[in-house]
Amino acid sequence: MTANDKVPIVRMPGWLDNAYYCANWKMTPYLCKTNKPPNTACRSPGSTAAVFIMETIMEHVAKSLNKDQLDVRKLNLYQQGQKTPPGMVLKYCNIRSMVTQLETSAQIASRKQQIAQYNAANRWKKRGISLMPLKFALNWKGSQYNTLINISNGDGSIAIFHGGVNLGQGINIKVAQTCAYELGVPMDIISVKKASTMTNCNSHTTAGSVTSELCCLSVIECCKMLKERMAPVKAKMVNPSWKDLVVQCYNQGVDITARYVTEPTNVSTYTRYNQYGVCCSEVELDVLTGEHQILRVDLLYDAGKSLNPDIDIGQAEGGFVMGLGHFLTERVIYDSTTGENLTSNTWEYHPPMPKDIPIDFRVEFLNNSDNVNGVLGSKSLGEATVPMSISAFLAVKHAIEAARKEISKDIYFTLYGPATVDTVQLNCLTDITNLTYGN
């Protein structure tokens, strides 16, 4: 939840429904001041927490009804044409078919049977599996980016100044690729320059997983201007090279510099489009120590027509692993008297390390997909895969349930995140009476 001087902006309700339809949603957000230190929007401004709340509700319903969690989820999934709480009609919604696809490709039914057999044969090692869907609303509203393209007379080289910040998300590569595609030129004559307030003033923050696609959108608009100006000159030439065309345009006084600012404030609906995904995680738990290992993750994501699959696969993996830290390892502890952060280094604060990454990590993009509301048919990536790591958290919980079943305490319980080893071990409810021969 963020706020300006007067009006609070409540973001969580936009994601609270996740992938589930309910005809009579009632959400009443309240702005509260607590005694806790404030959280940042590092792992998205409310979406991860909202999806976690909804998935916890689905788990609770399934447990209370003694039904399979996946069956309960499937019964409540959105269908095309239904309306979300903010009022968006889902003209495009493929979440049901994606769940079915992953169920088949990941062999969920047979793996559940294998896990049940494993748990019956092992007292102090337990496994759990969880599959969860995702509908992630993406908003362009208010995201303004200033892009400038300069073409140099002589060698025809192209310099791009865009309003985003390259954070490792591959924005510069996507921007250069988009320019090369639109102008029909090779990548090696394009360079992306550093952003500055001289060339890209008033650009919006790089956030929300929208910057890459909106900077690409502004590049497309710049290229349209340049092609329109250069077209009359090109029409009088016979199959000119790019370099010759640039020289001729320059000699005839054609402006070969273009600037464009995205203006998504004009978008009529809050949600530009929805991203859809399905994720299944399987874990193995040591009941006595609380240590757990993610054995396998199957993640299916609808990226539309990805602008760069190599980059986007990395974004999907990175977002998921970032979520693993949030839900499984990264506990922040403050001194109750002074408020000092007692976990300010990696000796006490534990971000995901190589051993925390799934042993078998399978990320796949949906084939033959498109996005008419995106840039060149693409969908964004980054934040959307962070909440999909909830599946790993829930798989750990299912493994704990298997341990509790051994001691006839298999009832619904609340597992608080992050599910660090001590939290997991304590929730297994193992005591000294269980540690005798025959138990």
Residues 45 and 13: their CA atoms lie apart, in Å, by 11
Q: Which residue has the tokens 């919980």?
A: 397
Cβ pair 72, 133 in contact under 8 A:
no
- Residues 228-252 have a mean pLDDT of 96
Helical H segments across 66-167, by residue range: 69-75, 95-105, 108-121
Residues 33 and 299: their CA atoms lie apart, in Å, by 37
Same fold, 2-138+273-434 and 146-266: yes
Model confidence at 438: pLDDT above 90: no
Residues 327 and 349: their CA atoms lie apart, in Å, by 13
Q: Which pLDDT band, with edges at 50, 70 and 90, does 439 fall under?
A: low
CATH number for the 2-138+273-434 domain, one of 1.10.1040.10, 3.30.365.10, 3.40.720.10, 3.40.50.150? 3.30.365.10
Buried-state track 358-384, b at ≥16 Cβ within 10 A, e below 16:
beeeebbbbeebebebbbbebbbbbbb
Torsion sign, CA atoms 46, 52, 56, 58: positive
pLDDT, one tens digit per residue, over 182-191 is 999 999 999 9
Query: What's residue 102's pLDDT?
Result: 98
Cβ pair 323, 330 in contact under 8 A:
no
Note the pTM of the prediction, 2 decimals.
0.92
Q: Which CA distances in Å does 263 have to 145, 199, 276, 405?
A: 8, 17, 25, 56
**How are strands ordered across the β-sheet holding 125-138?**
125-138, 273-286, 292-301, 360-365
Provide φ and ψ at 317, rounded to 5°. -65, -45
Domain boundaries, the chain: 2-138+273-434, 146-266
- Residues 51-69 have a mean pLDDT of 96
- Residues 249-265 have a mean pLDDT of 91
pLDDT, one tens digit per residue, over 314-342 is 999 999 999 999 999 999 898 888 888 89
Active site residues: 383
Buried-state track 247-260, b at ≥16 Cβ within 10 A, e below 16:
bbbbeeebebebbb
pLDDT, one tens digit per residue, over 379-424 is 998 889 999 999 999 999 999 999 999 999 999 999 999 999 999 9
How far from each other are the two terminal CA atoms of the chain, in whole angstroms? Answer: 48
User: What CATH number should be reported for the domain whose range is 146-266?
Assistant: 3.30.365.10
